[in-house]
Structure 1
Amino acid sequence: MPPYDMYQWITLLTFGGLVGAMGQGARTAVGLKKLAQEAAVKEVGMTDLIAASRIFVSLAIGFIAGSLGGIGVVQKINQIQLHEVMAIAAIGYAGADFIEGFIGQISKASRDGATPEAPPAAGADANDGALG
C-alpha cells in the first residue's frame, strides 16, 4: 500500500464505511423479511417489532467494519476494483455480525451477573488448568 495523504485516507475510510454499511444493509433487509414473517405469526404490525435504534447501531457497526476492512482490501485508492468493493461489503455484513454477537455475549454475561473470565496472569504456568 503506497503512502496516502490525509484526503486519500479520509476518502478510503469513508468509501469503506459506506460500502460496509451497504453490506450491513443487505443483512438488515434479510432481518426485516424474517421480522415480517414473525409479525404475521404473532398477528401484530411490523412497526410493533422494529427497533429503529438497533437498525441504526447495526448500520454504524457495518460502517466501522467497512472502514477498517477497506484499509486492508484496497490496493490502489484511485483504481478500486469490483472484487475489492464486494470484499468490503462482505466485511460489513460479516464484521457487524461478529461484533454484534460479541457484544451480545458481553451484555448477556452482565445481565446474568457473571463477569468474563480474566486471562492468566503474566508468568503463570502455561499448563495450569490444562486437561490431561
Structure 2
Amino acid sequence: MMNAECTSAECILINLLLSGLLGLIGQGIRVIVGLKKLREEATAEASTSTADAKTAFDNHFDVRQLWLSLFIGFVAGCLANLGRPDGEFTKEVQLAIIAAGYAGTDFIEGVLTKVLPKK
C-alpha cells in the first residue's frame, strides 16, 4: 500500500489517517463491550427497582464520554503509527494498531486523569 519512501505531506497524512481509523476501530470494539456491560447492569438494576431498563441505561450512558473515548482511540492509533517501521501496512501492523486503539485508550485516559484537574 505505502512504500518505504513516504516523505510527502500527502503520504504522511494518509498514514496518520489510516492509523487513526484503525485505532478508532480498536476503541470501537472496546465501546461495544462496554455498552453490552452497561446494558446488563441496567437490566439488573431495573429488576431490583421500579425503573425500566431503558431509563436505567439512559441514566448511566454519557454520549460525550463515548465521543471522547472514540477520539482518544483515534489518537492512540496515530501514536502507534509513529512506532511502526516504514513500509507497508501488513496485516500484523494493522492488528497491532487496532490493539493500540483498544489498549492505548486506557493508558491515555489514565494519563489525562492524572494531569487534568478534577471537577
Q: Same fold (TM over 0.5)?
A: yes
Question: After TM superposition, which residue ranges in structure 1, 4 or more long, deviate above 6 angstroms?
Answer: none
Please say if residues 20 and 89 of structure 1, whose CA atoms lie closer than 8 Å, have aligned partners that are also in contact. Answer: yes
Partner amino acid for 2:15? L
How far apart in 2 are the matches of 1:74 and 1:36?
Answer: 40
Q: CA deviation at 1:106?
A: 4.4
- 2:22 corresponds, among 10, 19, 22, to 19
Q: Give the alignment's TM-score, normalised by structure 2.
A: 0.81
The residue aligned with 1:56 is: 67
Indicate the percent of aligned positions where both proteins have the same amino acid: 34
Partner amino acid for 1:9? I
**Bigger relative contact order, structure 1 or 2, given CA contacts below 8 A and separation 6+?**
2
In structure 2, runs of 5+ residues without a counterpart are: 47-52
How far apart in 2 are the matches of 1:13 and 1:75?
Answer: 13
Q: CA deviation at 1:47?
A: 2.6
Query: Relative to total residues, which structure has the larger helix share, 1 or 2?
Result: 2
Q: Give the alignment's TM-score, normalised by structure 1.
A: 0.73
**C-alpha distance 105-37 of structure 1, shift in aligned 2 (>3 A):** farther
Determine which structure has more spread, i.e. the larger CA radius of gyration: 1
Please give the secondary structure, in 2, of the residue aligned with 1:14: helix
The residue aligned with 1:116 is: none
In structure 1, runs of 5+ residues without a counterpart are: 112-132
What's the RMSD between the two structures over aligned residues?
Answer: 1.8
Moved more, 59-68 or 96-105: 96-105
How far apart in 2 are the matches of 1:69 and 1:3?
Answer: 17
The residue aligned with 2:101 is: 92
